[in-house]
Amino acid sequence: MIDITNIASQIAQKQANVVARQNGFGRATKIFIGNCDKIIKHISYGYRKNTTGEYVCNKYRANFGWKNTYYQSAETWVMLKNELIK
pLDDT tens-digit series, residues 20-36: 999 999 899 999 998 99
Owning domain of residue 78? 4-85
54: DSSP letter: -
Residues 51, 61: Cα–Cα separation, whole Å: 14
Asked if 84 and 8 touch (Cβ cutoff 8 Å), the reply is: no
Asked if 70 and 48 touch (Cβ cutoff 8 Å), the reply is: yes
How open is the CA angle 37-14-78, to the nearest 5 degrees? 35
User: Taking all residues of the chain, what is their mean pLDDT, rounded to a whole number?
Assistant: 86
**pLDDT at 83 > cutoff 80:** no
Number of domains in the chain: 1
**pLDDT at 63 > cutoff 60:** yes
pLDDT at 84: 55
13: DSSP letter: H
- The radius of gyration of the chain from alpha carbons, rounded to an integer in Å, stands at 17
DSSP strand pairing (75-81 vs 38-43): antiparallel
